[in-house]
Structure 1
């Protein structure tokens, strides 16, 4: 069953997927440590209406490592994380978001797409339910894989406090 809408709550640190107006899945997430905000360079998670612009990573293994939206050939492990402690791990799959509100999250210095705001998997050592990202929405790798399989390009995404 494909999703037609995703709602992300910054307050609750949850993602709920909808099909025909009914909730069909719910995942814990981790949004930005710096809170909500749309400004380029802020390290904040942008609010408002978005859509999925691109789906990246189909066919890659669970825990596949991405840099610049390209798989590196690595698969995340605790040992790899210890080897590269400064990396912001983008794993498994990427759903790249595009803002829908001109002047708020689209265009100029507030453009979610140009800020590379994604839904993506993260290391198993990272907690969910706690804001820790650099602006993206992080999910457990298994949850990201399931979400990716259900989410088409163009799916609407609403990010807000409730």
Structure 2
């Protein structure tokens, strides 16, 4: 079964002549799901939230970018559950301790996996650059919205699951985001 699930990923890798990594994440925007694979086998499936706006790789579109990416950086590895990360740095705040008006925002919490597009002209370079758009996989203070489009373009997970994913994933792992 895992090989069937991996088929869209292996097809994309072959078309771009990119070697498969031991760990791969596959995000389905339509299903609001992310599957993690290790050595060709399904490791875990997560319910996620992607962008409220239509999927897009264009800067300032606030849509989740599609295509093949890699994890470029990891941030927040020693942060507490619910920690607020500002500019990828632990602020020392926990989201539930913030004023109500601050909690209304979609905050970056717990951990960050910063994505870099691997498809020149699609999600890499110019005004279509995932990395320069600061698109992350990260925790959220609005866990009740997980499973429906709710972000400004990032992929959101529940905070405990974000820690689990962060511990599983490595810099350089591939991430395919599809409609």
TM-score by length of 1: 0.93
Deviation of 1:88 (Å): 2.7
Separation in structure 2 between the aligned mates of residue 81 and residue 109 of structure 1, nearest angstrom:
35
2:139 matches 1:139: no
Q: After superposition, where does 1:70-81 map in structure 2 within 5 Å?
A: 70-77=89-96, 80=98
Separation in structure 1 between the aligned mates of residue 166 and residue 151 of structure 2, nearest angstrom:
19
2:35 matches 1:16: yes
More helix by share: 2
Partner of 2:9: none
Q: After superposition, where does 1:1-162 map in structure 2 within 5 Å?
A: 4-77=23-96, 80=98, 82-161=100-179
User: What secondary structure sits across from 1:84 in the alignment?
Assistant: helix
Contact 1:118 1:136 in 2 (8 A): yes
Contact 1:16 1:25 in 2 (8 A): yes
Deviation of 1:87 (Å): 3.0
Question: Which residues of structure 1 form unaligned runs of 5+?
Answer: none
More contact order relative to length (CA 8 Å, sep ≥ 6):
1
Separation in structure 2 between the aligned mates of residue 132 and residue 150 of structure 1, nearest angstrom:
24
Question: Which residues of structure 2 form unaligned runs of 5+?
Answer: 1-20
User: What secondary structure sits across from 2:25 in the alignment?
Assistant: strand
Check 1:5–1:123 CA distance in 2 against 1; reply closer, same or farther (3 A cut): same
Task: Say how many residue pairs are matched.
Answer: 159
Cα distance per residue 1:48-92 (max 9 Å; x no partner) = 000000010011101110111111100121x52614145330000
| Structure of higher CA gyration radius | 2
